[in-house]
Structure 1
Amino acid sequence: MFVKIKERIQELKGPFEKWFPPIRLGIILLGIILSILLFIPPINGAVDDGSYNLILRANGLREYTNNADYFKYFVPKFPILQYYNPDTDVYLSLQNILIQAAILLNKIFYSTQIFDIRFLSAIYVVLFLIGVRQLFKGLTFRLRGFKAYMIVLVGVFLLSDTTYTIYFNSFYIEPLDYIMVIYFVAFGLRAFQQSDPQKIMKFYGGQVFVVFLLMFVSRQIAFLLGAFCFCLIGGIVFIKGRKWKLSAIILVSSLIPLSVYMGSLYSNPGYNENIYQSMTLGAMPASKEPGKDLAKIQVDPQNEMLRGTFYSEPYAIVSSDSSTIQQGFIDELSYGKLILYYIKHPTVTLNLLQMGLESKNSTREDVSAFEKNAVKQSDENKVFFQWAAGIKGLILPKKIGFYGLFAILVISLYSVSMVRGLQMGSKLYLSIWFMNIGLLMIMFLSFFAPIIVSGETSITRQLMMTSVILDILVLLVLSDSIHHNIWINKETVLLTKMKGNNENEE
Structure 2
Amino acid sequence: MRRSEMPGTRAIAAYWKRVFRAAARYASPSLLAAAAVLAITAAALFVKPYIGMADNGDYFRILYSNGIYFNAPDYDSQYFGYFVKNFGIFQYFNESGTMLSSSQSLFVRLALQLNVWFMNDRTFDIRIQAAIYLFLYAAAVYLLVEALTWGAPRKRGYAIAAIAVFIFGDTAYTAYFNSFYGESLMLITALYVLASGLLIYRRRFNDYAMLAVFVVSALLLTTSKQQNAPFGVLIALFGIFLLFARRRRTYRIGAASGLILLLTASIASYVLIPQEFVNINKYHAMTRGVLPDSSDPEQSLKGMGIDQQYALLSGTIYYETYTTIDVNSDMMLTEFYGKFGFGKVLAYYAAHPDQAVRMLNLAAKNAFNARPQAMGNYEKSEGRAFGAQTHFFTLYATLKQSLAPKTFGFVFLWAIVIVGLYMPSFVSAVRFKNRRQSLRLPLLLMMICLGLAGMAVSILGAGDADLAKHEFMFTFVFDLVTFMTIADAILGSLWRNVPFRGEAEHATTAA
TM-score, normalised by the number of residues in structure 1? 0.88
Give the conservation status (yes or no) of the 8 Å contact 1:160–1:388: no
Question: Residues 301 and 372 of structure 1: is their aligned pair in 2 closer, same or farther, counting only changes over 3 Å?
Answer: same
Structure 1 residue 359: deviation in Å? Answer: 4.0
Superposed counterparts of 1:208-287, under 5 Å: 208-242=215-249, 244-261=251-268, 263-264=270-271, 267-287=274-294
Q: What residue identity is the alignment partner of 1:388?
A: Y
Match for 2:190 among 176, 181, 184? Answer: 181
Match for 2:406 among 392, 395, 398? Answer: 398
Is 1:42 the equivalent of 2:21?
A: no
Superposed counterparts of 1:356-435, under 5 Å: 356-359=363-366, 361=368, 368-377=376-385, 380-435=388-443
Match for 2:88 among 51, 68, 79? Answer: 79
Structure 1 residue 321: deviation in Å? Answer: 0.8
Flag structure 2 segments of 5+ consecutive residues without an equivalent: 1-17
Question: Residues 268 and 176 of structure 1: is their aligned pair in 2 closer, same or farther, counting only changes over 3 Å?
Answer: farther
Percent sequence identity over aligned pairs:
26
Q: Which string of whole-angstrom CA distances, capped at 9 and with x for unpartnered residues, describes residues 164-205 of structure 1?
A: 211111111001011110000011011112289xx3233123
CA–CA separation in structure 2 for the residues paired with 1:328 and 1:117: 43
Aligned to 2:482: 474
Give the conservation status (yes or no) of the 8 Å contact 2:100–2:273: no
Secondary structure at the aligned position of 2:220 is classed as: helix
Match for 1:169 among 178, 202, 210? Answer: 178
Q: Which string of whole-angstrom CA distances, capped at 9 and with x for unpartnered residues, describes residues 135-158 of structure 1?
A: 111111211411110111111111
Q: Which string of whole-angstrom CA distances, capped at 9 and with x for unpartnered residues, describes residues 60-90 of structure 1?
A: 2223355453112122222222321111422
Aligned to 1:304: 311
Question: Residues 362 and 156 of structure 1: is their aligned pair in 2 closer, same or farther, counting only changes over 3 Å?
Answer: closer
Match for 2:123 among 83, 98, 114? Answer: 114
Structure 1 residue 239: deviation in Å? Answer: 2.2
Give the conservation status (yes or no) of the 8 Å contact 1:230–1:435: no
Superposed counterparts of 1:17-56, under 5 Å: 17-56=24-63
Aligned to 1:346: 353
TM-score, normalised by the number of residues in structure 2? 0.87
CA–CA separation in structure 2 for the residues paired with 1:492 and 1:140: 11
State the number of aligned residues: 488
Structure 1 residue 219: deviation in Å? Answer: 1.4
Secondary structure at the aligned position of 1:498 is classed as: helix
Flag structure 1 segments of 5+ consecutive residues without an equivalent: 1-10, 502-506
Q: Which moved more, 1:160-169 or 1:292-301?
A: 292-301
Q: Which string of whole-angstrom CA distances, capped at 9 and with x for unpartnered residues, describes residues 104-131 of structure 1?
A: 2222333222222111111111111111
Q: What residue identity is the alignment partner of 2:300?
A: D
Structure 1 residue 262: deviation in Å? Answer: 5.2
Q: Which moved more, 1:334-343 or 1:214-223?
A: 334-343
Match for 2:465 among 451, 457, 471? Answer: 457
Match for 1:191 among 200, 207, 217? Answer: 200
Question: Residues 262 and 407 of structure 1: is their aligned pair in 2 closer, same or farther, counting only changes over 3 Å?
Answer: closer
Secondary structure at the aligned position of 2:451 is classed as: helix
Match for 1:155 among 149, 158, 164? Answer: 164
RMSD between aligned residues: 2.9
CA–CA separation in structure 2 for the residues paired with 1:118 and 1:195: 33
Question: Residues 268 and 212 of structure 1: is their aligned pair in 2 closer, same or farther, counting only changes over 3 Å?
Answer: farther
Q: What residue identity is the alignment partner of 1:463?
A: E
Match for 2:64 among 38, 57, 60? Answer: 57
Secondary structure at the aligned position of 1:430 is classed as: coil
Question: Residues 484 and 315 of structure 1: is their aligned pair in 2 closer, same or farther, counting only changes over 3 Å?
Answer: same
Aligned to 2:209: 202
Give the conservation status (yes or no) of the 8 Å contact 2:104–2:182: yes
Aligned to 1:295: 302
Aligned to 1:321: 328
Structure 1 residue 307: deviation in Å? Answer: 1.0
Question: Residues 240 and 481 of structure 1: is their aligned pair in 2 closer, same or farther, counting only changes over 3 Å?
Answer: farther
Give the conservation status (yes or no) of the 8 Å contact 2:64–2:96: yes
Secondary structure at the aligned position of 1:78 is classed as: strand
Question: Residues 145 and 13 of structure 1: is their aligned pair in 2 closer, same or farther, counting only changes over 3 Å?
Answer: farther
Structure 1 residue 290: deviation in Å? Answer: 2.1
Give the conservation status (yes or no) of the 8 Å contact 1:365–1:390: no
Q: Which string of whole-angstrom CA distances, capped at 9 and with x for unpartnered residues, describes residues 289-337 of structure 1?
A: 2222223233333221111122232111211111111111011122222
Question: Residues 362 and 137 of structure 1: is their aligned pair in 2 closer, same or farther, counting only changes over 3 Å?
Answer: closer
Structure 1 residue 273: deviation in Å? Answer: 1.3
CA–CA separation in structure 2 for the residues paired with 1:179 and 1:112: 28
CA–CA separation in structure 2 for the residues paired with 1:452 and 1:365: 20
Question: Residues 434 and 374 of structure 1: is their aligned pair in 2 closer, same or farther, counting only changes over 3 Å?
Answer: same
Question: Residues 163 and 338 of structure 1: is their aligned pair in 2 closer, same or farther, counting only changes over 3 Å?
Answer: farther
CA–CA separation in structure 2 for the residues paired with 1:257 and 1:102: 28
Structure 1 residue 403: deviation in Å? Answer: 1.3
CA–CA separation in structure 1 for the residues paired with 2:367 and 2:204: 42
Question: Residues 349 and 124 of structure 1: is their aligned pair in 2 closer, same or farther, counting only changes over 3 Å?
Answer: farther
Question: Residues 399 and 13 of structure 1: is their aligned pair in 2 closer, same or farther, counting only changes over 3 Å?
Answer: closer
Q: Which moved more, 1:402-411 or 1:77-86?
A: 77-86
Question: Residues 472 and 359 of structure 1: is their aligned pair in 2 closer, same or farther, counting only changes over 3 Å?
Answer: closer
Question: Residues 443 and 263 of structure 1: is their aligned pair in 2 closer, same or farther, counting only changes over 3 Å?
Answer: closer
Secondary structure at the aligned position of 2:25 is classed as: helix
Secondary structure at the aligned position of 2:452 is classed as: helix
CA–CA separation in structure 2 for the residues paired with 1:216 and 1:35: 27
